[in-house]
Amino acid sequence: TCGFVAIVGRPNVGKSTLMNRILGQKISITSRRPQTTRHQVLGIKTEGDAQAIFVDTPGIHILGKDRNKAINRFMNQAAVQALRDVDCVVFLVDRTRWTEEDQIVLDRLANVEAPVILAVNKVDRLQDKATLLPWLAELGNKREFAAVVPIAAQHGTNVPELEAEIDKHL
Ligand code: GDP
Ligand code: MG
């Protein structure tokens, strides 16, 4: 079997870090600076005779004074195109931070037919872990998600559980 997985989310939520963690090697560029990933980077995870192809989408940048910059228009287009013909989407957010940009990414997923898994990243940075459960429930009301999984991509925490959820759709 072979499946296609898109990782989407606003800049800096940890998309490249997650992809590198899943693939176990440095294929995508990560940086503290947003907009490091300017092109789609493909990675292939092979397990037995099963393969999953991952796309680390460029961030979706449509807010602020740079919204009409050619590079941002290009990146938005590339991010949206990555959602066509995928088997599964991983929508990545950062802890309990929900921004206007997260909402824009979520809106872009409205017409996506593939199952969308919500992954809440950087939980290692949560000041108060008790805030996580009610937050996960609140996120779950924003749309129908195939699963909601808290992770820390940088440390690999709970990433196998996320991969298991992805594998269900491949
Ligand atoms: P992208 O723009 O969505 O591709 O985000 P990156 O993968 O480039 O990550 C942005 C920043 O968040 C980098 O400094 C990462 O090291 C950091 N980061 C990613 N995952 C985690 C995590 O699980 N915990 C913490 N504390 N930092 C993370
Ligand atoms: Mg990136």
What length is written for the chain? 170
Output the pLDDT for position 63: 43
| CA–CA distances in Å: residue 17 to residues 21, 29, 57, 168 | 6, 8, 12, 22
Output the pLDDT for position 62: 44
Mutate which of 8, 17, 123, 151 for ligand 1? The one with the most ligand atoms within 8 Å of its CB, which is 17
Q: How far is the CA of 127 from the centre of ligand 1 (A)?
A: 17
| Contact call for residues 91 and 146 (beta carbons, < 8 A) | no
Residue 53 CA to residue 72 CA, distance in Å, equals: 25
Output the pLDDT for position 158: 97
Domain 2-167 annotated CATH 3.40.50.300: yes
pLDDT in tens, the chain (170 residues): 578 888 888 888 998 899 889 887 655 555 555 544 444 556 777 777 777 777 766 555 444 455 566 666 665 666 666 677 789 999 999 998 899 889 888 988 888 889 999 999 999 999 898 999 999 999 999 999 999 999 999 999 999 999 999 999 98
Output the pLDDT for position 38: 45
Q: How far is the CA of 123 from the centre of ligand 2 (A)?
A: 18
126-142 pLDDT, tens digit per residue, is: 989 899 999 999 999 99
Q: How far is the CA of 41 from the centre of ligand 2 (A)?
A: 9
ipTM (interface pTM): 0.99
Question: 61: which 2 tokens?
Answer: 């940048």
31-47 pLDDT, tens digit per residue, is: 555 544 444 556 777 77
